[in-house]
């Protein structure tokens, strides 16, 4: 595992002119950074943090690891990192879960600014970021997350691409292209990105990608044993009553095997950008488009009716009941500019993103509900000129969103969000001791004209961290955060049937501010080629907002309400990487990881969809010509379940891969993979759809990447 840690003073002092002069080294650095990294001192590219140490650690995935874990949704890409899980609703919709938190408590960023879509409102909504065009993905935690908003209680996922040019391509041109096929999804995907240097200061960028999959293959039955038993019992009752057709339909649903129906995806994206990189000044802009069409697998009969913990299923009365699918498109415009100041503040950076997003839920070819989101987010940051023992950043941020849902099953009333915040992050260093403090004030105004409701929230958040270098290679530290979060528009104004998730959702316009006190202790070791990290954490919530199944029904759908109660999250994360021994011209290395989180309400009731204990182990043989890697992902059973929630069994996935490097500069890589080698059945406890969407079966995949 290669180091990304850089001397902070040298990095923080690097002026814009030096960035231009060092541009020729950028491609080489990108090629070298091909391992996942967990460490306490890391230079990341998220705005405001790039010049600061991140106490409590960050995880970065790029290069060959990103290629190996590539998927159509960012949640799937990060799924095997310690402390990271995925909502896994369907192949077309999967969002990251950090330390058991998701939705409104995890900020997903596109190059440092919000992705401005509706993925945080519901698990069936895709994240409108294309991982196929990503250069690297960063997962941030700790005090630095205050820079990105109170919605980053769980952490920040920052997806970085090249749409906003920052460096001149080496030799004036850079081209990256890739393509993949596989068996379980019948995947066909490909894409390319091109950077063209014009003169000494201007860069043009173009990118595009396409991805298509069919209904994916699974090892056995689509439904859990309990669901199958209920359906077959209902079929027997229907047959006794003489309802032959209904009995046959229930039996057919119970016996679906080998594939998850209506789990297809089709996605394409393209964009262009331009940048000027001068001495003391840079500016870049881009326009991009993202379009995806994907199926929503449904439960038995289309609806699951829970009553006092027992499953009952109804056959749809209407003939020709159509499958549900979602089509989503987003047009996005981005701006980045930086000015070297040369005083107390070293640089001013302005980052703005504007998005026009439309999400349509379809029943067959009939339009059900249309979600429109028009949003703009901007950040103005001032990075302080570093001194011998002090560095920091201050800034302001605004976010405007106009949300509208139209249709018979529009479950959220039209609403508007206006948010403004100011923030700071400061770091002091006294020899082996480092101290980091941050603060944020935010005003959030939520309003819904049709409901005649207006809410205004003032929230204050603060964080502090301290770490000490026990030795030059071992560091211990602790963080404390107190964060306040205003309720979202969906939590306040939901009231209606949600077709895709098969729920009737009810919000509460009287919700209060959610407050969390977070504590974390950690130890890191960076002993030559050996790296290790252990962190334990606790998040104590006051007025935690959660969606709870009531046991009632409305419009033949189970009712879910947004409620508030105190809640506690505790857990740990651990990771290690080390070389073992050399043999046959190569070297064996090992990667290990583990994570666990436990979450419950104040009365001890477990919260739903909390990931179980996860263990990860990998053994890799690396050489100049090729690498061989074997991985085991083990997921414990989860029996700590919320009311009306099903438990899940443990399972293990074994993955094998071989990466061929025909040239020493790694410009061409051929990756051969066999995932879930033993065709194991598994169900993600974090998924709303775990009872009828298991993980994919044995999958053979071939990927080629070329960079010039």
Average pLDDT over the chain, rounded to whole?
88
Residue 705 in 3-state DSSP?
Answer: strand
Segment 439-448 shows an average pLDDT of 96
* Confidence at residue 118, expressed as pLDDT on a 0 to 100 scale: 87
| Most confident listed range (40-44, 141-145, 504-508) | 504-508
Q: Is the pLDDT of residue 33 over 70?
A: no
Quick: pLDDT tens for 521-554.
999 999 989 999 999 999 999 999 998 888 899 8
Confidence bin at 141 (pLDDT 50/70/90): confident
Q: Is residue 235 part of a domain?
A: no
DSSP readout, 518-543? Answer: EEEEEEEEEETTEEEEEEEEEEEEEE
State the angle between helix axes of 244-254 and 225-240 in degrees (0 to 180), rounded to the nearest 10.
170
Q: Is residue 238 part of a domain?
A: no
Q: Is the pLDDT of residue 52 over 50?
A: no
Q: Is residue 611 part of a domain?
A: yes
> 287 burial class (0-12, 13-18, 19+ CB within 10 angstroms)?
middle
Q: Is residue 112 part of a domain?
A: yes
**What does DSSP assign to residue 558?**
E
CB 385 within 8 A of CB 122: no
Quick: pLDDT tens for 687-698.
999 999 999 999
Backbone dihedral region for residue 258 (phi beyond 0: left; psi -120 to 50: alpha; all else: beta): left
Confidence bin at 622 (pLDDT 50/70/90): very high
Confidence bin at 443 (pLDDT 50/70/90): very high
Confidence bin at 25 (pLDDT 50/70/90): very low
* Confidence at residue 301, expressed as pLDDT on a 0 to 100 scale: 56
Quick: pLDDT tens for 89-112.
999 999 999 999 998 999 999 999
* Confidence at residue 299, expressed as pLDDT on a 0 to 100 scale: 80
Taken in order 676, 682, 686, 688, the sign of the CA dihedral is positive
Q: Is residue 612 part of a domain?
A: yes
* Confidence at residue 307, expressed as pLDDT on a 0 to 100 scale: 35
Confidence bin at 48 (pLDDT 50/70/90): very low
Segment 362-388 shows an average pLDDT of 92
What is the percent of the chain where pLDDT is above 70? 89
User: Model pTM greater than 0.85?
Assistant: yes
Say how many domains are in the chain. Answer: 1
Q: Which CATH number covers residue 182? A: 2.40.170.20
Give the span between the Cα atoms of 349 and 33, in whole angstroms.
Answer: 26
Containing structural domain, residue 544: 8-222+260-707
What is the percent of the chain where pLDDT is above 90? 73
Element (H, E) at 453: strand 453-471
Q: Is the pLDDT of residue 143 over 60?
A: yes
Q: Is residue 231 part of a domain?
A: no
Q: Is residue 679 part of a domain?
A: yes
Quick: pLDDT tens for 445-496.
999 999 999 999 999 999 999 999 999 999 999 999 999 999 999 999 999 8
Greater model confidence, 144 or 457: 457
Quick: pLDDT tens for 319-345.
446 788 999 999 999 999 999 998 899
* Confidence at residue 502, expressed as pLDDT on a 0 to 100 scale: 81
Q: Is residue 241 part of a domain?
A: no
């Amino acid at each position: 595992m290669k180091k990304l840690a850089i001397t902070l003073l040298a990095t923080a002092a690097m002026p814009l002119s030096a960035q231009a002069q060092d541009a020729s080294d950028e491609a080489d650095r990108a090629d070298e950074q091909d391992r996942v990294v967990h460490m306490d001192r890391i230079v990341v590219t998220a705005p405001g943090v790039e010049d600061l140490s991140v106490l409590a650690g960050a995880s970065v995935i790029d290069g060959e690891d990103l290629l190996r874990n590539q998927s159509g949704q960012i949640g799937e890409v990060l799924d095997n990192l310690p402390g990271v899980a995925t909502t896994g609703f369907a192949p077309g919709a999967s969002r990251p879960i950090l330390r058991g938190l998701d939705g409104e408590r995890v900020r997903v960023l596109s190059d440092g600014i919000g992705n401005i879509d509706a993925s945080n409102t519901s698990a069936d909504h895709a994240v409108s970021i294309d991982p196929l065009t990503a250069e690297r993905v960063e997962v941030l935690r700790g005090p630095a997350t205050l820079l990105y908003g109170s919605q980053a209680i769980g952490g920040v996922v920052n997806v970085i691409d090249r749409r906003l040019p920052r460096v001149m391509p080496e030799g004036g041109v850079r081209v990256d292209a890739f393509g993949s096929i596989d068996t379980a999804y019948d995947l066909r995907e490909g894409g390319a990105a091109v950077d063209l240097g014009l003169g000494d200061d201007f860069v043009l960028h173009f990118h595009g990608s396409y991805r298509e999959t069919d209904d994916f293959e699974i090892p056995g039955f689509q439904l859990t044993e309990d669901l199958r038993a209920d359906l077959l019992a209902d079929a027997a009752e229907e047959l006794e009553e003489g309802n032959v057709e209904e009995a046959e339909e229930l039996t057919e649903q119970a016996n679906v095997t080998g594939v998850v129906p209506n789990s297809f995806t089709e996605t394409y994206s393209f964009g262009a950008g331009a940048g000027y990189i001068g001495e003391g000044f840079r500016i870049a802009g881009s326009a991009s488009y993202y379009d995806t069409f994907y199926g929503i697998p449904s439960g038995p009969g289309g609806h699951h009716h829970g009553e006092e913990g027992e499953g009952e299923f109804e056959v749809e009365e209407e003939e020709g009941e159509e499958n549900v699918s979602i089509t989503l498109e987003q047009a996005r415009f981005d701006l980045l500019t930086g000015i070297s100041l040369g005083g107390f503040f070293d640089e001013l950076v302005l980052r703005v993103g504007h998005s026009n997003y439309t999400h349509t839920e379809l029943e067959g070819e009939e339009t059900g509900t249309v979600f429109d989101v028009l949003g703009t987010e901007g950040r103005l940051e001032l990075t302080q000129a570093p001194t011998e023992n002090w560095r920091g950043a201050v800034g302001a941020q605004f976010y405007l969103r106009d949300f509208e849902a139209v249709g018979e099953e529009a479950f959220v009333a039209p609403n508007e969000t206006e948010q403004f915040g100011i923030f700071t992050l400061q770091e002091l260093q006294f020899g082996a001791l480092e101290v980091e403090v941050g603060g944020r004030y935010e005003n959030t105004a939520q309003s819904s004209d049709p409901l005649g409701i207006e809410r205004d929230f003032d929230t204050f958040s603060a964080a502090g961290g301290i770490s000490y270098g026990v030795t030059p290679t071992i560091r211990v530290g602790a963080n404390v955060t107190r964060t306040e979060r205003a309720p979202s528009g969906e939590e306040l104004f939901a009231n209606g049937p949600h077709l895709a998730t098969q729920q009737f959702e009810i919000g509460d316009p009287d919700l209060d501010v959610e407050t969390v006190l977070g504590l974390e202790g950690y130890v890191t070791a960076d002993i030559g080629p050996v790296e290790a990290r252990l962190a334990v954490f606790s998040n104590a919530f006051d007025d935690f907002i959660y969606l709870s199944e009531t046991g009632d029904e409305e419009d033949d759908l189970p009712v879910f309400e947004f409620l508030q109660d105190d809640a506690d999250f505790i857990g740990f994360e651990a990771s290690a990487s080390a070389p073992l021994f050399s043999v046959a011209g190569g070297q064996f290395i090992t990667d290990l990881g583990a994570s666990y989180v436990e979450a419950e309400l104040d009365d001890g009731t477990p919260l739903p969809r909390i990931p179980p204990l996860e263990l990860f182990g990998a053994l890799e043989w690396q050489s100049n010509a090729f690498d061989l890697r074997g991985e085991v992902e083990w997921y414990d059973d989860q029996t700590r379940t919320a009311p009306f929630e099903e438990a899940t069994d443990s399972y293990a996935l074994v993955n094998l891969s071989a990466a061929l490097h025909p040239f020493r500069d790694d410009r061409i890589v051929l990756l051969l993979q066999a995932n879930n080698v033993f065709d194991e059945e598994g169900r993600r406890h974090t998924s709303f759809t775990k009872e009828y969407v298991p993980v994919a079966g044995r999958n053979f995949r071939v990927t080629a990447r070329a960079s010039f």
